[in-house]
């Protein structure tokens, strides 16, 4: 006999007994006459059963016919409703979808409230993380362990949790809820900030397409190249910049981190790519903390390492990030600024990247200054030396203002504690408004100016945002050139003031970071973002 597969159905021994064969035996008709009364009873029972079954069958046919004739539309409506209610696995990395209200959370819990946070559900308690300080609602993976002080264990290649407490202790995760911090980068909070800040599904779809382009042009060892990205993409993409793999790798990383992609998030779409890029940067770092490639590149790489550490509390990153900050502090010039080489008299452009790196490190709980070396006070001294008398304009090496340097100077001032109602900030914003979106050929300018307007908020942001947002969406390559379909999702450096140096990697990175402004950093000052929701819906 052929063996049956083990599909859960009973086998022969279970049905028939252990190895026994059933036997049909013939019986004698003797005694049949004596069984007539019993047979009569059986016949009557059979007749009664037939009558009952006939009635039931008639009723069954009647109901079936009625349903089939009268309720066909109802059946169709039910089927259609079930189809409509079927959940779709939305994903912001799908550039054809963009922002979706059903966006997945970053942890394995269903969304119960409008805002959702990680941890066990306690229906009788207020939603939130127990003993967390007041701050913006966040939707990020639980921190790198709770209850101790050792941080997440296992380094870049493991998701094993550690013991770091994210609240009240220096080091990692501290940068999530602070003003300007990293807590709005994913999940429900990202969605809310996009909607309130004036982003929309088109801007988020543009971000997704841009991230996809970056990933497609990343080298196998994790780095990006300003001048050879086409080799890694195995394509004919154009728009090359100067050789600087440190700067290129940082520029590739920053938009991914801004979108909430980390090497420690098990639901991250590009987590492996982020981890490989971080490894590459750390492998290039010298003992003194220098990544190489000049101070521009070092500042960019330092921001990336500090943000990654602040978002994950991964102790593998802590030493590298701290050494990078130490190098920045040691490279500060006597006049308080930074330039191409350590301790060289500063310029506003390079200084801006170093200040932002130091602030990223500070938000991640790393050491950025002390009483013997007041880094921020010295940086303020430099900003004073290049600003106009009323503080509304900034120059490159001196007070002569330009739109780009003014945007850099104003953002530094905001991060160093100058409030949006300061007369210098108000005057500076008025100056930036004279060069609105479309009035410059520099994505570098747009990157800084957009952040300034975002943190200041109010009517000025309402006027700036839709123009900036829609301009970048319109300029993004849509992949319509059949000879160069691989350009889809990127921004061309042609005609850009700095496109020759940074190339397509730089213009794409800064365009993405500008579109991610809604959630990359939480607002520096408590306010209603004031994003025009009607504009956002368009």
> 3-state DSSP call for residue 272?
helix
Please report, for the domain that includes residue 286, its CATH number.
Answer: 1.50.10.20
In this prediction, what percent of the chain has a pLDDT beyond 90? 55
Q: Are 394 and 406 in contact (CB under 8 A)?
A: yes
pLDDT at 527 over 50: no
If one counts every other C-beta atom within 10 angstroms of the C-beta of residue 51, the result is: 10
DSSP string covering 464-530, please?
HHHHHHHHHHHHS--S--TT-GGGTT----TT-TTHHHHHHHHHHHHHHHHHTHHHHS--SS-S---
**Cα four-point dihedral sign 42, 44, 49, 50:** positive
Q: Is residue 266 part of a domain?
A: yes
**Does the pLDDT of residue 65 top 50, yes or no?**
no
**332 phi, psi to nearest 5 deg:** -65, 135
Name the 3-class secondary structure at 397: coil
How does pLDDT run across 293-344, given as a tens digit for each residue? 999 999 999 999 999 998 888 899 999 999 999 999 999 999 999 999 999 9
- Name the β-bridge partners of 164: 148
Q: Where in the sequence is the domain holding 383, given as residue range(s)?
A: 187-537
**180 and 194 in contact (C-beta within 8 Å)?**
no
Q: How confident is the model at residue 60, as a pLDDT?
A: 56
With cut-offs at 50, 70 and 90, classify the pLDDT of residue 52: confident
Residue 346 has pLDDT above 90, yes or no: yes
Question: Is residue 192 scored above 90 in pLDDT?
Answer: no
Rounded Cα gap, residues 65 and 179, in angstroms: 68
Interacting residues of 258 by C-beta distance below 8 A, sequence separation 6+ = 185, 512, 513, 516, 519, 520
Give me the pLDDT at residue 393, please. 98
- Token pair for 94: 């799908």
Residue-averaged pLDDT of the chain:
77
- Residue at 145 is within a domain: no
Q: Over 60: is that where the pLDDT of 66 sits?
A: no
Does residue 63 lie in a domain region?
A: no
Residue at 288 is within a domain: yes
Across 384-398, average pLDDT: 97
CA distances from 434 to 11, 430, 437, 439 (A): 84, 7, 10, 8
- How many structural domains are present in the chain? 1
pTM for the structure as a whole: 0.70
Over residues 25-41, the mean pLDDT reads 48
Q: For the beta carbon of residue 152, count every other beta carbon within 10 angstroms.
A: 24
Residue 8 CB-density burial (10 A; 0-12 exposed, 13-18 middle, 19+ buried): exposed
Cα 90 from Cα 317, distance rounded (Å): 31
In a domain, 149, yes or no: no
117 close to 129: Cβ distance less than 8 angstroms: yes
Q: What values do phi and psi take at 67, rounded to 5?
A: -65, -40
Q: What percent of the chain has pLDDT over 70?
A: 63
Alpha-carbon distance of 225 to 233, in angstroms, equals 11
Nearest to 393 by CA among 428, 421, 432: 428
315 within domain boundaries: yes
Q: Which two tokens stand for residue 44?
A: 């009557």
Answer whether residue 53 is part of any domain.
no
Q: Does any domain span residue 228?
A: yes
Spell out the SS3 assignment of 3-44. CCCCCCCCCHHHHHCCCCCCCCCCCCCCCCHHHHHHHHHHHH
Q: pLDDT tier at 235 (50, 70, 90 boundaries)?
A: very high
Reported as a pLDDT band with limits 50, 70 and 90, residue 56 is low
């Amino acid at each position: 006999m052929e063996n049956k597969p083990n599909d859960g159905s009973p086998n022969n021994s279970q049905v028939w007994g252990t190895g026994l064969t059933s036997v049909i035996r013939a019986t004698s008709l003797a005694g049949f006459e004596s069984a007539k009364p019993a047979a009569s009873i059986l016949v009557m029972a059979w007749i009664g059963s037939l009558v009952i079954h006939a009635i039931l069958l008639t009723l069954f046919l009647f109901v079936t016919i009625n349903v089939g004739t009268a309720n066909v539309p109802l059946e169709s409506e039910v089927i259609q409703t079930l189809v409509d209610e079927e959940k779709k696995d939305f994903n912001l990395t799908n550039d054809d979808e963009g922002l979706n209200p059903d966006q997945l959370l970053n942890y394995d819990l269903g969304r119960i409230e409008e805002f959702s946070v990680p941890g066990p559900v306690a229906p009788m308690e207020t939603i939130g993380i127990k003993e967390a300080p007041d701050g913006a609602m966040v939707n990020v993976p639980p921190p790198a362990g709770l209850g101790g002080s050792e941080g997440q264990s296992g380094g870049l290649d493991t998701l094993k949790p550690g013991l770091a407490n994210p609240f009240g202790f220096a080091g990692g995760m501290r940068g999530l809820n602070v003003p300007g911090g990293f807590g709005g980068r994913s999940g429900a909070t990202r969605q809310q900030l996009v909607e309130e800040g004036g982003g929309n599904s088109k801007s988020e779809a543009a971000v997704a397409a841009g991230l996809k382009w970056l990933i497609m042009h990343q080298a196998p060892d994790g780095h990006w190249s300003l001048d050879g990205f086409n080799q890694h993409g195995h394509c004919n993409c154009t728009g090359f910049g100067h050789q600087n793999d440190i700067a290129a790798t940082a520029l590739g990383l920053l938009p991914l981190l801004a979108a909430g992609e980390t090497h420690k998030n098990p639901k991250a779409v590009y987590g492996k790519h982020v981890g490989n890029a971080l490894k590459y940067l750390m492998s290039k770092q010298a003992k003194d903390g220098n990544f190489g490639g000049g101070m521009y590149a070092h500042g960019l790489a330092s921001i990336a390492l500090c943000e990654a550490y602040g978002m994950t509390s991964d102790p593998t990153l802590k030493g590298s990030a701290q050494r990078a900050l130490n190098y920045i502090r040691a490279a500060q010039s006597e006049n308080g600024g930074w330039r191409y080489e350590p301790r060289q008299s500063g310029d506003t452009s390079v200084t801006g990247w170093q200040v932002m790196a130091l602030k990223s490190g500070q938000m991640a709980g790393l050491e950025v200054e002390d009483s013997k070396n007041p880094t921020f006070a010295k940086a303020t001294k430099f900003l004073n030396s290049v600003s106009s008398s009323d503080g509304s304009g900034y120059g490159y090496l001196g007070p002569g203002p330009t739109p780009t340097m003014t945007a850099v100077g104003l953002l530094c001032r905001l991060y160093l504690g100058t409030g949006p109602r300061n007369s210098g900030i108000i005057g500076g914003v008025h100056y930036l408004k004279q060069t609105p979106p479309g009035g410059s050929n520099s994505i570098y300018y747009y990157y800084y100016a957009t952040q300034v307007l975002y943190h200041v908020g109010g009517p000025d942001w309402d006027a700036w945002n839709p123009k900036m947002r829609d301009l970048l969406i319109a300029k993004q390559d849509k992949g319509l050139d059949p000879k160069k379909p691989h350009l889809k999702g990127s921004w061309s450096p042609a005609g850009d003031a700095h496109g020759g140096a940074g190339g397509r990697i730089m213009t794409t990175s800064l365009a993405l970071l500008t579109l991610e402004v809604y959630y990359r950093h939480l607002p520096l000052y408590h306010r209603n973002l004031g994003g025009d929701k009607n504009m956002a819906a368009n």
